[in-house]
């Protein structure tokens, strides 16, 4: 696997494949098939200040070429993560990115501070798709002003690199990207899930307990590619691209759109061996499709693809 190392802003990854938040638990759910140190980095489950119980069931359903989830960010809270999981990840030499969630800006700040004091976390990823309870429940990440303010507040309390994870459920993703760049983000990760819902016509009722859920998997891959491309045109920050990645050609396509590293999540549910297959195929595919240029994220000018 040598020669696959990439630089994601300040982070040196041994390969470009990243396990994305919420699909890989705290790093050990897929062992022995997928040890966490297989990946260039592991982004752990969204972590809040206190434990969150999540949404009522049903929380998951399969869709054509994807999945709807309405987990509701259930997690045991930052203290349990730091006590029970971080030491194990550190022992294994995993590059750990902690995913931060909150209901208010102060909660994001408090979690970020706690994580920054710990030993063994390479970076924070702010999931800005959470509802802001002080703004009527509108997601932070759908407002340019709130996104900028949130990142600026967290920037003040951490010296760790900050990844900001953008939602595709906005009309101008480039504007959000520019705002978080101005506020001090180091890397942009995208995309989070696409809002959706499903109805059981026999029961004449929504299928998910939460009514709405987030669509992920191959169904959203074209949306992810479009968003990555638009963000690449809008900012000079490095990009961690994700959304429906299933094989090595998807990884290369995401890099051609502008990503420096690429996340995989829902594909693990369909084929837990997918990351191994990708890491085996990537060197050959890369040489075949890019004439050896690497990283290919930087191989095209802002104006278009070569």
Ligand X SMILES: Cc1cc2nc3c(=O)[nH]c(=O)nc-3n(C[C@H](O)[C@H](O)[C@H](O)COP(=O)(O)O)c2cc1C
Interaction between residue 49 and ligand X (CB under 6 A): no
Site for ligand X in 114-173 (CB under 6 A): 127, 165
* Interatomic CA distance for residues 121 and 57, integer angstroms: 32
**C-alpha distance from residue 211 to each of 57, 71, 151, 194 (Å):** 10, 12, 29, 14
Q: Which of 44, 123, 130, 231 is catalytic?
A: 130
DSSP 117: H
- When binding is defined by CB under 6 A, the residue of 6, 13, 18, 22 that contacts ligand X is 22
Q: Which of 168, 243, 295, 297 binds ligand X (CB under 6 A)?
A: 243
130 given a catalytic annotation = yes
Pair type for strands 11-13 and 6-8: antiparallel
Q: Is residue 241 at the binding interface for ligand X, with CB under 6 A as the rule?
A: no
Residue number closest to ligand X, CB atom: 22
Considering the rule CB under 6 A, would residue 213 count as an interface residue with ligand X? no
Contact stretch for ligand X (CB under 6 A) within 15-23, 77-85, 195-203, 277-285: 15-23
Q: Is the peptide bond before 58 cis (omega within 30 degrees of 0)?
A: yes
How far apart CA 238 and CA 82 sit, in angstroms, is 28
Q: How far is the CB of 306 from ligand X (least distance, A)?
A: 27
Residue 91-110 contact track with ligand X, rule CB under 6 A, x = bound: --------x-----------
CB neighbour class for 32 (10 Å; exposed up to 12, middle 13-18, buried from 19): exposed
Cβ proximity to ligand X, 9 vs 275, nearer residue: 275
How far is 33 from 40, CA to CA, in rounded Å? 16
For the bound state, the minimum distance from the C-beta of residue 71 to ligand X, rounded and expressed in Å, comes to: 5
**H-helix segments, 158-293:** 173-182, 221-234, 248-257, 267-270, 274-290
Q: Which residues are catalytic?
A: 130
Q: Which residues contribute to the site for ligand X (CB under 6 A)? A: 20-23, 45-46, 67, 69, 71, 73, 99, 127, 165, 192-193, 216-217, 220, 242-245, 264-267
């Amino acid at each position: 696997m040598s020669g696959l190392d990439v630089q994601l802003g300040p982070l040196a990854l041994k390969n470009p494949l990243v396990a994305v938040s919420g699909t890989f638990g705290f790093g050990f759910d897929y062992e022995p098939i997928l040890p966490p140190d297989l990946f260039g980095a592991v982004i752990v489950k969204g972590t809040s200040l206190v434990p969150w119980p999540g949404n009522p069931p049903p929380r998951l359903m399969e869709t054509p070429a994807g999945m709807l989830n309405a987990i509701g960010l259930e997690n045991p809270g930052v203290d349990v993560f730091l006590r029970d999981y971080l030491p194990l990840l550190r022992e294994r030499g995993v590059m750990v990115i902690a995913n931060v969630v909150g209901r208010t800006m102060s909660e994001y700040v408090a979690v970020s501070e706690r994580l920054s004091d710990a030993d063994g976390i390479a970076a924070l990823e702010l999931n800005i798709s959470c509802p802001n309870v002080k703004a009527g429940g509108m997601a932070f990440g759908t407002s340019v002003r709130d996104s900028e303010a949130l990142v600026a507040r967290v920037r003040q309390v951490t010296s760790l690199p900050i990844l900001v994870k953008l939602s595709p459920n906005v009309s101008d993703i480039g504007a959000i990207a520019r705002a978080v760049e101005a506020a001090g983000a180091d890397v942009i990760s995208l995309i989070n899930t696409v809002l959706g819902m499903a109805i059981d016509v026999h029961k004449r009722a929504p299928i998910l307990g939460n009514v709405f859920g987030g669509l992920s998997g191959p169904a959203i891959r074209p949306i992810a590619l479009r968003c990555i491309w638009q963000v690449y045109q809008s900012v000079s920050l490095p990009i961690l691209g994700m959304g429906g990645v299933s094989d090595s050609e998807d990884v290369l396509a995401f890099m051609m759109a502008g990503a420096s590293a690429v996340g995989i999540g829902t594909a693990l549910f369909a084929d837990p061996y997918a990351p191994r297959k990708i890491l085996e195929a990537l060197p050959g595919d890369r040489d075949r499709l890019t004439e050896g240029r690497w990283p290919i994220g930087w191989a095209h000018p802002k104006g278009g693809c070569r």
